[in-house]
Structure 1
Amino acid sequence: QIINNKAMNRTNKFLTLILALVASVAITSCVQDDDYTVPTSLGNEENEALTKMLANSTEVDLAYVKELYVENGSSTVPFYVENDVYVKGYVSSSDKSGNFFKEFYLQDSPSDPTGALKIILEQVDTYNQYNQGREVYINLKGLYIGEERVGNGITTIGGGTEFDQYGGTVTRLNTNQIRTNLLRSDVTELITPLVVTFSELTDDHVGVFVQVNGVEFADNLAGERYFDALQVYDTQRTMQVCNGFGYSVLQLETSSFASFKEHLLPTGNGSIKAVVNKTYDGSTRILALNDVADVDMEGARCSLAETIIQESFDDAENNTNLDNPGWLNIAEEGSRVWREKVYNGNGYAEFGAFGASDASNIGWLISPGIDLDAYEGEILSFQTAHAYPVDNHDALEVYISTDFDGTAAGAANATWEVLDFTKSYELDSDTWNTFVDSGQIDLSAYTGTAYIAFVYTGGGTTGDTTTIRMDNFAIYGQ
């Protein structure tokens, strides 16, 4: 009997071991299959915690959370949340490829987001729980809002604080805080990338999943890989977008731990979907990939536009009537016309009604004709500056005509369409004599021979005496 009991004990222990191994394999298989379902007990606990929080706490939006973090002079102090408040968001980043580490971003909406928060936590492979698109609620009570590194400008949720001579920073959420404060719902939304250009990106986009079109890696990167083997932590690769006559650029940063780091950079043009991030010190915005599958650059590389016409007024003779070849200078009302000016060696065109005896001054400066049928994607650009106050009147308008006959007499009979541009006096009427870029003005919808007219309106006896200056006129096309 004793022998039989011992045998049965050994058998029971063996069966217990087998069952444990089977359970272990089942759980492992669940993770490997990217099944984000958690064990029933943990799921129930999490659901109960979420239900309780929603019933007893107040929801705040992401912008409010950012405002809670204040900076005191050159020193930063993380904000400790004492009240029962929570914020909701959708996971925009993924550490599945190893390009993010012990962190993820939450943006405030799965589509058309306005901003994001960074969460740092003592957990790797967060994508198994906080997969991209997962709706996550953060119980902010007992947590800190601040920066992970002083001055990096990224609002971050942490579980504790550290202080040094530079100020205070937040530290990662510990295991208990992850369990009690990061609460998921069963909702996973499709994150629609926010389509942006490099120039449109601001710090408000940090943490947001975006898409940039018409992008390619810089010409000198052919044959290079995402990560430079000579680097230790991160590698930055220059991306560029053809921007008329030049490139707009931004860096793509790849971690030494990224699973795709040895992939060759594509040599074509196309699109990239990535998370807006910052360099380690927070000085520069960059993009960071969730996965190399979000890069689609198989198209033909873009080409820069060529100069169709350019006038920088470098040959200006100071205080003379403007008479550059091919340009028409017409006084519609009053006796004044556009003048050539030189200041500190820089020539430009100028019109002003200051000191004029005319009740009304209207002056036209019309460019030479441009054959738009010989090019595609034409872009107009120039610079303007102003002096003397602008009081509720538009001193300068810019027009285009494709039926103008090129004569002074024909200007009044032509059809002129207004072109929108950035006006110096609308940006800051207190800043005089500062040239401002017009922005890129798209002319691609026009055909035939086009003329560009700069029309000044003012009056010496009415007080509308603003002086307008124009320089660096150019049209580019392909």
Structure 2
Amino acid sequence: MKIRLFYIVFFALSLFACKREYDSPPLNQLPENGIISIAQLRSMAFPHKFVGDTSIFGVITMDEQTGNIYKNVYIQDTSGAGMNLRLLSSGGVIQGDSVRVSLKGTILTQFDGMLQLDSVDVDDNIVTQSTGNIVEPKTVTIAEINSSIQAQLIRLEGVEFSGMDVGGTWADGDNQASLNRMLVNCFGDEVIVRTSGYANFANEVIPSGNGSIIGVVGQYNTDMQLYIRTPLEAQMADPRCTASYLLYKDFDDGSTTSGGWGSFWTGTNANGTNWGEWEIFGGNVASASNFEFASFTNYACESWLVSPSVNLTGTTLPILTFDNVTRYSGPGLELYVSTDYDGSSDPALQGTWTNITSSVPNWDVDSGDWTFVPSGTIDLSPYISPNTYIAFKYIGSNVDGATWEIDNIIIQE
């Protein structure tokens, strides 16, 4: 009987001993000299590699789940100070996790102006204490955004995207290219909103109104930036206080097709080049030329550059403007508009396109230089629709072909 009772007691103690214990004891049981605040961490000299048993505590305020950041998360503690954690591998922590971060083996460093804790191993350095925690963003103004609030979760109110960006997408998801969008207030202050082309919302159109936005403060050299966690935190449906553009394309991002633009070409490929196809020249203008200087040869071609759909409903007098310049002899550039194009097919084969070339007040003529000429205003009110497209058509033959460049394409009320 005593032997049986011994086994019962031993089994009960074994079950109790196998009960899962949380990683760390209560805060007051940790050595005081082993815990530092994020503010203390940010005040340390860098670069610095940690070798001792030092830890920080905080809540993850931004994770990788939307794809807007990769192998990075942001943490913030009760003091409000934040830090960018650069992970050795992706995943393992999510927004709302309250975590202890052991600093042993990590490196405090700065990259292009952004202070960060590098070489963080999620398995070895991070222990989750609890989940589902909410950090309230700090409300600041654009003018108050500086390096002192790097990595902090903030809210801006009374802001809107620049008129030049309205109608554009957060980033270029098709080409997985990151884009900067300018956020402004009614006093002329501005800050960059940087979005990765890998974000799952990259191709969503940015809000066109005024309102509030939540994001984490970043920095690239001297430029302060904001990284959003989700478009749902951009509540911007109030009336604007600055002018808005229904369409703006300046090619400064080095792409002819970002922002939903389309390029369609037929012609001759010689020496690896589609002659006459729209391309970026000089880094920031769109150019089309069918002339190969090396062989002194012109190639017959037809090349279209087509805008994304522009919603002109609600406008009364929408106008189009752009800058253009041409050199050498050949057919003139043509301008078209359509209200039934499907947005993806070859415009030479689909859609009803109206030639409005003659409606352009100022087409450049070859004057021997590359000085851009403003087009003047082109009235688009006859083409008001929910889906209005404009297109530039370049034509070259086997005997001639001008070079045309365009820039700063704008549709506005």
- Work out which of the two has the higher radius of gyration on C-alpha atoms and give 1 or 2: 1
